[in-house]
């Protein structure tokens, strides 16, 4: 954890969830509506088909709703894409950009990720910018070089602690059940904090840096206690309210 930085527990549903899953959103909205909400933020990013209904279901709850991607342009002939303004129009508050699955499946570059983050900022959305190394890059000792490059090229110059969140997701740990050691996570987050502070000064010292990659109820407390880890970007474990809330509630002990 970073002193004086409010943690964020975010769930990325990816390409999962139909209307039947809205009961999970309801349960999450109710489950985060308690004293811990004064100290910790909660966010769910469902598929775009559920975005508007999800925001309606969480209207009276601290649970925030975001999207999983946006186009870099505000409008135009881009069949199948959604803009940041459309997300905001559905009352979304956040959007994930640069997730490794977008980078690999759709060949998204750091420059495109930066443009998407800028589009999010223009629509008054918080951009969650994902970075992380592959297994091959890790084995060859390139982890910090990859993080340095992705931070430099993917994060817009005007980013602030209010409109930008960084999510470190080692690509090899996503959905595999594997996680880096606590020491590895601490080293990576310390490096990212130093890079952000050098570039953005005060904003960089308080910009939230989430950890993602096989975060589960069983390891959440240990991972969230690591210095400079300001929350989690949760994948599969965010699909069930019971699992997501167990991760969120790990902060009860950490913020006591």
Active-site residues: which are they?
99, 169
Measured over the CA atoms of residue 191, residue 196, residue 199 and residue 205, the dihedral's sign is negative
- Angstrom distance (rounded) from CA 112 to CA 239: 28
CA angle, residues 208, 246, 221, in degrees to nearest 5? 55
Are 236 and 174 within 8 A, CB to CB? no
3: left (phi over 0), alpha (psi -120 to 50) or beta: beta
SS3 129: strand
SS3 26: helix
């Amino acid at each position: 954890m970073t002193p004086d930085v409010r943690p964020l527990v975010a769930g990325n549903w990816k390409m999962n969830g139909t209307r039947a899953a809205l009961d999970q959103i309801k349960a999450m909205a109710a489950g985060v509506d308690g004293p811990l909400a004064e100290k910790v933020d909660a966010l769910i990013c469902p598929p775009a088909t559920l975005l508007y209904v999800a925001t309606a279901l969480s209207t009276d709850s601290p649970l925030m709703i975001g999207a999983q991607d946006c186009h870099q342009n505000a409008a135009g002939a881009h069949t199948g894409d959604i803009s940041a303004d459309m997300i905001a129009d559905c009352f979304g508050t956040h959007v994930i950009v640069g997730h490794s699955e977008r980078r690999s499946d759709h060949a998204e570059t750091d420059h495109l990720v930066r443009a998407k983050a800028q589009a999010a900022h223009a629509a008054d959305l918080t951009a969650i910018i994902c970075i992380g190394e592959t297994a091959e890059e890790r084995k060859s000792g390139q982890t910090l070089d990859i993080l340095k490059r992705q931070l430099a090229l993917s994060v817009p110059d005007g980013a602030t602690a209010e409109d930008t969140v960084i999510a470190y997701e080692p690509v090899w740990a996503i959905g595999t059940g594997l996680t880096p050691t606590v020491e590895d996570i601490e080293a990576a987050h310390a490096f990212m904090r130093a890079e952000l502070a050098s570039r953005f000064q005060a904003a960089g010292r308080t910009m939230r840096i989430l950890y993602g990659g096989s975060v589960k109820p069983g390891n959440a407390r240990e991972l969230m206690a690591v210095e400079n880890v300001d929350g989690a970007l949760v994948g599969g474990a965010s699909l069930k309210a019971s699992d997501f809330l167990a991760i969120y509630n790990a902060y009860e002990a950490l913020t006591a």
